[in-house]
């Protein structure tokens, strides 16, 4: 039985899989089971931030698992405390961390913090969470409901109450009331179509929420860990949220989710927990990934990579105006708007046949999320291959 048959027999069909099996990788270069080479402009949907098979991360993980992998959060875990220190110091905010296993879990934790904060603050129960249309916050029952995409709400109700959706950033102000526990936004919507929010509008919202003592939750599952050029998009936008969630790139390929918050006194022992969150394995990965990316940023290499990728993307966009209507995003979270969904699907399929991995996002967007450590040679090779796609 081959891998395709095995998968179809034993794995639930929750993914529209492409019949490619990758067996080896190095930085932004992949090889499939037939030996075909690809340039990875996806990094596993923004996860492999420091590239595939990063030796420093691999060595750190191997050293750790030769000693201890897991013991539970009933005891002190040195790599977890060090990972929290590194993440907080990289953020520049005065916060503490909770470690989970995914972005959805991190967002669940953020919602619980906001709601308990609302419970403690006066006699009125604050429970309402405002999110944005086209947002994406996860696939658990609660985070699906927090997601502002009606199509994702089919079949799985009834859902937890208290989630409402604003059409845009400026309309949030009119939705605030005595029951609002928090506002949760992505500064660049990823699944929603690589849609950046307006910086001045975000800053105005953050200021208003501070005046009203309503926590701002920024979902940085995709934008965090230097994806946009700074450790967090919140830094790039010049705001100080009360809660930030991280996942994906902060673990470099090891499953991890993190809730960071300045609301330090809200949760107490027993309010929240995770069996696996922040264990020796995942926390060690976070420590090494953050160290690598900080060095990469401080050396100027990250900014050079972003600038070079933008140059090549803009060149490709200008040469293919018959396919693309707009170039969006910033940092290494980029997108090209395509005229229709069928064309977008054809582009992704043809690109893969030509050895380039790309992603689809909402609003007919071709999404680029390359490893942050992608080389100029890999960038050149990827865009050269894109010139040869056929529709």
Write out the H or E segment, with its range, that includes residue 210. Answer: helix 199-212
- The contacts of residue 352 (CB under 8 Å, 6+ apart) are 18, 20, 38, 358
- Element at 361 (helix H, strand E): strand 359-361
Q: How many beta carbons lie within 10 A of that of residue 322, not counting itself?
A: 9
* Rounded CA separation 96/56 (Å): 26
Q: Is the dihedral of CA 104, 25, 225, 326 positive or negative?
A: negative
Phi, psi of 195 (to 5 degrees): -115, 100
**How far separated are the first and last CA of the chain, in Å rounded?**
34
Torsion on CA atoms 57, 62, 68, 69, rounded to nearest 10: 60
Whole-number Å distance between alpha carbons of 338 and 325: 6
Query: Rounded to two decimals, what is the model's pTM?
Result: 0.96
Domains in the chain, CATH or no CATH each: 3-53+300-386 (3.90.1150.10), 56-298 (3.40.640.10)
Classify 331 in phi/psi space as left (phi over 0), alpha (psi -120 to 50) or beta.
left
* Residue listed under structure tokens 């230097």: 226
391 residues of the chain, pLDDT tens digit each: 899 999 999 999 999 999 999 999 999 999 999 999 999 999 999 999 999 999 999 999 999 999 999 999 999 999 999 999 999 999 999 999 999 999 999 999 999 999 999 986 566 789 999 999 999 999 999 999 999 999 999 999 999 999 999 999 999 999 999 999 999 999 999 999 999 999 999 999 999 999 999 999 999 999 999 999 999 999 999 999 999 999 999 999 999 999 999 999 999 999 999 999 999 999 999 999 999 999 999 999 999 999 999 999 999 999 999 999 999 999 999 999 998 899 999 999 999 999 999 999 987 999 999 999 999 999 999 999 999 988 8
Residue spans of beta strands (DSSP E) within 27-150: 29-32, 37-40, 96-100, 128-132
User: For the CA atoms of the chain, what is the radius of gyration?
Assistant: 21
By C-alpha distance, which of 229, 283, 231, 230 is closest to 254? 283
pLDDT of residue 1: 84
């Amino acid at each position: 039985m081959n891998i395709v048959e095995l998968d179809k027999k034993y794995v639930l069909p929750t993914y529209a899989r492409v019949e490619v099996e990758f067996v080896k990788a190095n930085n932004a270069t992949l090889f499939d089971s037939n030996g075909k080479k690809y340039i990875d402009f996806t990094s596993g949907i923004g996860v492999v931030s420091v590239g595939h098979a990063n030796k420093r991360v691999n060595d750190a993980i191997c050293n750790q698992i030769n000693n201890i992998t897991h013991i539970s959060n009933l005891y002190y875990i040195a790599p977890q405390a060090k990972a929290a220190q590194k993440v907080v110091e990289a953020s520049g905010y005065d916060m503490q961390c909770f470690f989970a296993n995914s972005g959805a879990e991190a967002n669940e934790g953020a919602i619980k913090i906001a709601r308990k904060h609302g419970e403690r603050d006066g006699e009125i129960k604050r429970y309402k969470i405002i999110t944005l249309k086209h947002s994406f916050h996860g696939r658990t029952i609660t985070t699906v409901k927090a997601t502002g995409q009606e199509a994702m709400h089919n079949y799985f109700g009834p859902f937890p109450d208290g989630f409402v959706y604003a059409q845009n950033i400026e309309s949030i102000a009119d939705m605030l009331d005595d029951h609002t526990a928090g506002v949760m936004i992505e500064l660049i919507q990823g699944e929603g179509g690589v849609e950046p929010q307006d910086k001045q509008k975000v800053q105005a919202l953050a200021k208003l929420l501070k005046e009203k003592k309503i926590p701002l939750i920024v979902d940085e599952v995709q934008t965090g860990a230097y994806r946009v050029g700074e450790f967090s998009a919140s830094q790039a936008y010049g705001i100080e949220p009360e809660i930030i969630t991280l996942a994906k790139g902060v673990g470099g390929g090891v499953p991890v989710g993190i809730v960071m918050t300045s609301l330090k006194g809200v949760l107490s022992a027993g309010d929240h927990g995770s069996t696996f969150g922040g264990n020796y394995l995942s926390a060690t990965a976070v420590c090494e990934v953050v160290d690598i990316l900080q060095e990469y940023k401080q050396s100027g290499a990250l900014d050079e990579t972003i600038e070079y990728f933008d140059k090549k993307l803009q060149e490709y966009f200008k040469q293919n105006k018959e396919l693309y209507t707009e170039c969006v995003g910033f940092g290494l979270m980029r997108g090209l708007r395509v005229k229709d969904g069928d064309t977008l699907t054809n582009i992704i399929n043809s690109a893969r046949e030509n050895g380039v991995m790309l992603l689809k996002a909402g609003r007919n967007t071709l999404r680029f999320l390359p490893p942050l450590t992608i080389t100029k040679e890999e960038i050149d090779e990827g865009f050269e291959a894109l010139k040869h796609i056929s529709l």
